[in-house]
Amino acid sequence: MNVEPEQYGRTPSSPVLKVALVGECMIEMRGDPFSGISQTFGGDTLNAAVYLSRVTPSGRICADYITAIGADSFSDAMRQSWRDEGLGDQYVRVIEDALPGLYFIQTDPQGERRFLYWRGEAAARRMFDGPEAGAALQALADYDCIYLSGISLAILTASGRTRLMHALRLAREAGARIVFDNNYRPHLWPDVQAARQAYGDMLRLTDLALITWEDDAALFGYADTEALFHAYAGFGVGEVAVKRGVASCLIQCATGRFDVPAEQVQHVVDTTAAGDSFSAAYLSCRLQGGDPPLAARWGHRLAAQVVQHRGALIPGAAMPSLDMPSYSSAVEA
């Protein structure tokens, strides 16, 4: 990557930063069974890609989404929606005999959601299988920053995951920064041991970890955030931001530890994509030269707006302002 080890920002003479986001987009269905149902698209890394594109001024980054889709009309519409959001799709693979995955969201009165998935044969599972995947895997070394999640790892075939990890190692050796959002989903893994092994391998390649506390507590059994920070230092992760829902974000980085309060929301409608939007705003701020505490403020602000709307992707008109102020409300932990 064309930036220093602890610096994500650009200098005036720097070229536009190239960011690859790797994962799965699915058809999102919402409503009550055998009643009115709305349909759109979503997925953790796709949500992050869209929000990253929205909150980063034009000309600062070039964001490409890397995945696999089918040759059907839903896949075509999905791909067009990414283009409409300003995402590059040159490494989107089309698999003729596959379809996109599908999920159904149901929310309770408090806005907490329940997901039902149909994704076992989704095209994205095979995105890095076979010789056709070679171009996308090799291209990763050309990016300044690569973003993926625990779900990105979990959905792949075993061989696809192995090939991706190898490509990430080569990309990091070439200078890419690796950003990992843990998003642990137990049902996507054969057992917890397999997940721990894959996450451990991934974290040893990670520069910035965006962690949902509950997920890591479930996966690794950490008793508290101090144990998490100690473990991540052992993995060699230089920057860790721990997302804790309505509680503050805790950060460990080269300049210290910070505790950044969340923004309070009076009425939560739907928590879908709260973590994804936080991660996108955090990364956008860091790519533009903001420090970690400011990045967490951006994350909280966007997430607070997202949870007040239904669905993973809120209307463009509802996006909050994320001007880069000259102050930070973070306190050093």
The answer as to whether 277 is a domain residue is: yes
Return all residues near 207 (Cβ < 8 A) that are at least 6 apart. Answer: 172, 177, 178, 179, 237, 238, 239
Which residues sit opposite 257 in a β-bridge? 252
DSSP state, residue 96: T
The answer as to whether 11 is a domain residue is: no
Question: What's the total number of domains in the chain?
Answer: 1
Find, among 143, 205, 163, 151, the residue nearest to 2 by Cα. Answer: 143
Residue 327, pLDDT score: 42
Residue 85, pLDDT score: 97
Whether residue 5 has pLDDT greater than 50: no
Residue 326, pLDDT score: 46
What's 309's domain CATH number?
3.40.1190.20
Whole-angstrom distance, CA of residue 308 vs CA of residue 328: 24
Whole-angstrom distance, CA of residue 306 vs CA of residue 319: 8
Per-residue pLDDT, averaged over 9-38, amounts to: 81
Whether residue 51 has pLDDT greater than 70: yes
User: What domain range includes position 193?
Assistant: 17-321+328-332
* CA trace torsion 108, 110, 112, 118 (10° rounding): 20
Whole-angstrom distance, CA of residue 92 vs CA of residue 135: 10
Q: For residue range 70-82, list pLDDT tens digits in order.
A: 999 999 999 999 9
Active-site choice (207, 276, 291, 323): 276
Residue 200, pLDDT score: 98
Whole-angstrom distance, CA of residue 177 vs CA of residue 20: 10
Per-residue pLDDT, averaged over 306-330, amounts to: 80
DSSP state, residue 256: E
The answer as to whether 183 is a domain residue is: yes
Whole-angstrom distance, CA of residue 174 vs CA of residue 168: 10
Q: How many residues does the chain have?
A: 333
The answer as to whether 1 is a domain residue is: no
The answer as to whether 7 is a domain residue is: no
Per-residue pLDDT, averaged over 55-62, amounts to: 92
Residue 1, pLDDT score: 32
Q: For residue range 139-187, list pLDDT tens digits in order.
A: 999 999 999 999 999 999 999 999 999 999 999 999 999 999 999 999 9
Residue 13, pLDDT score: 52
Residue 263, pLDDT score: 95
How are beta strands 37-42 and 93-94 bridged, if at all?
unpaired
Q: Could you tell me the pTM of the whole model?
A: 0.92
The answer as to whether 4 is a domain residue is: no
Average pLDDT, the chain: 91
Whole-angstrom distance, CA of residue 165 vs CA of residue 171: 10
Active site residue 64: no
Residue 113, pLDDT score: 67
The answer as to whether 312 is a domain residue is: yes
- Check: CB of residue 307 under 8 Å from CB of residue 269: yes
The answer as to whether 306 is a domain residue is: yes
Whole-angstrom distance, CA of residue 92 vs CA of residue 237: 29
| Res. 10 pLDDT band, cuts 50 70 90 | very low
| Res. 197 pLDDT band, cuts 50 70 90 | very high
Per-residue pLDDT, averaged over 40-49, amounts to: 94
| Res. 92 pLDDT band, cuts 50 70 90 | very high
| Torsion sign, CA atoms 37, 314, 156, 182 | negative
| Res. 2 pLDDT band, cuts 50 70 90 | very low
Whether residue 103 has pLDDT greater than 90: no
